[in-house]
Amino acid sequence: MTTKQADALHKVLSALPDDCREGFEEIAECAISLGYMPAIKGVRKDYLDFSNSKWKRTILKIQAPTPKFPPYLAIKFYAVPAYSAYFQKAIDDRLSTWQRLHYEARCFGCGKCDGTEGCTVTLAEGKKGFLCGFGLLPLPPLDNENIAEVKEALKLQDEFFRERASEKSATDIDRLQANV
Residue-wise DSSP of 167-178: HHHHHHHHHHHH
Amino acid at 149: E
Q: In sequence order, what are the beta bridge partners of 37? A: 51
Closest CA relative to residue 51, chosen from 66, 38, 34, 65: 38
- What confidence score (pLDDT) does residue 147 get? 95
Model confidence at 115, pLDDT cuts 50, 70, 90, reads low
Could you tell me if 119 and 131 are in contact, meaning their C-beta atoms sit under 8 angstroms apart?
yes
Supply the pTM of this predicted model.
Answer: 0.82
- pLDDT confidence of 167, banded at 50, 70, 90? confident
Give the mean pLDDT of the chain. 83
Q: Tens digit of pLDDT for each residue in 63-105?
A: 999 888 899 999 988 888 888 889 888 888 887 777 777 676 6
Convert the pLDDT of each residue in 15-64 to its tens digit.
Answer: 999 999 999 999 999 999 999 999 999 878 889 999 999 888 899 999 99
User: What does residue 106 show for φ and ψ, rounded to 5 degrees?
Assistant: -155, 170
